[in-house]
């Protein structure tokens, strides 16, 4: 019961803080925060508790491959954004699903997985172009925040509930599916326009450097050091890299 309560409370709380920060400082910062393992990190921890460190370590390595799908998601959204948010969301989700299908039997080392994340994020950032325009102000509807919190909680419950059935390979591939980014980008695109949606995705891509490093450390150390030490090291590395990327790229947000 305590684990179920943690799933229901912890993730929506993180999502609330992320969304509130985005409303305060803009969609780029919101995307950057979403690029952190806000959902995928707790999912990995819950999977580790329920399935064991060996399972979680393998899933963490595969999560890096899943992040290649996140890069495909962002690239597809960029290419189709001019057709409207609904078309772009469908195209982006399709690109992620195709990447997961292609990678479902792949088993490279976590280092290769991380190299793909860094390369994919850098490529997407380079092809995105300028998104320096500031967003116009808007008042979010009353249902906006409850919907975000409900979806984040539902995704964690679903992902951890079917992890044993999916196995570590598929579970890892679908852990980083950008469900929150999909929601935030669609809202930003619909309410604020294409520039704001792309600024959010730019932040998400910048956050991927820390996200990938978190799961590299988890994949390499979970089965050797145990959950507490492994996730502590992963979080420390993640925060260090995230601070460095924010400082170096903050003007692009």
Letter string b/e over residues 88-97, b meaning 16 or more CB atoms within 10 A of that residue's CB: bbebbbebbe
- The rounded average pLDDT for each run of 10 residues, N- to C-terminus, in the chain (253 residues) is 60 71 66 70 83 88 90 94 91 91 86 94 85 52 70 70 67 73 80 83 87 93 92 90 69 53
* Strand, coil or helix: 18: helix
pTM: 0.77
Give the pLDDT confidence score for residue 192 in this predicted structure.
78
Letter string b/e over residues 203-233, b meaning 16 or more CB atoms within 10 A of that residue's CB: bbbbbbbbbbbbbbbbbbbbbeeebeebbeb
Give the pLDDT confidence score for residue 1 in this predicted structure.
46
Residue 109 CA to residue 62 CA, distance in Å, equals 9
Q: Where are the domains of the chain?
A: 2-15+29-131+148-252
DSSP state of 202: H
Residue 208 CA to residue 214 CA, distance in Å, equals 10
CA 207 to chain centre: 8
Q: Backbone phi, then psi, for 132, in 5-degree steps?
A: -80, -15
Nearest to 39 by CA among 180, 184, 148: 180
Handedness of CA 238, 242, 243, 248 (dihedral sign): positive
Residue 141 CA to residue 93 CA, distance in Å, equals 25
Give the pLDDT confidence score for residue 146 in this predicted structure.
77
Nearest to 48 by CA among 221, 179, 181, 208: 221
- Residue where the block lists tokens 């960029």: 78
Q: What is the DSSP string of 119-175?
A: HHHHHHHHHH----PPPPP-PPPTTHHHHHHHHHHHHHHHHHHSHHHHHHHHHHHHT
């Amino acid at each position: 019961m305590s684990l179920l309560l943690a799933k229901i409370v912890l993730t929506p709380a993180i999502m609330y803080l992320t969304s509130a920060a985005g409303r305060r400082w803009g969609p780029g910062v919101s995307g950057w925060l979403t690029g952190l393992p806000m959902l995928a990190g707790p999912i990995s921890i819950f999977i580790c508790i329920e399935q064991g460190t060996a399972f979680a370590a393998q899933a963490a390595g595969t999560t890096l491959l899943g992040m290649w799908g996140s890069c495909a998601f962002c690239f597809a959204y960029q290419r189709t954004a001019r057709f409207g948010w609904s078309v772009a969301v469908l195209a982006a989700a399709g690109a992620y699903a195709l990447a997961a299908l292609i990678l479902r039997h792949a088993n490279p080392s976590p280092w290769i997985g991380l190299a793909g994340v860094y390369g994919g994020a850098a490529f997407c950032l380079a092809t995105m172009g300028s998104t320096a325009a500031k967003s116009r102000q808007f008042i979010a509807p009353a249902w906006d925040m409850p919907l975000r919190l409900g979806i984040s909680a539902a995704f964690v419950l679903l992902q951890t509930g079917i992890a044993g059935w999916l196995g570590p390979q598929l579970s890892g591939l679908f852990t980083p599916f950008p469900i929150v980014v999909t929601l935030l980008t669609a809202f930003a695109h619909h309410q604020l326009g294409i520039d704001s949606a792309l600024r959010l995705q730019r932040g998400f891509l910048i956050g991927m450097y820390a996200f990938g490093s978190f799961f590299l450390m988890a994949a390499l150390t979970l089965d050797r050091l145990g959950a507490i030490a492994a996730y502590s090291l992963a979080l420390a590395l993640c925060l260090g890299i995230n601070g460095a990327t924010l400082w170096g790229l903050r003007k692009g947000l």
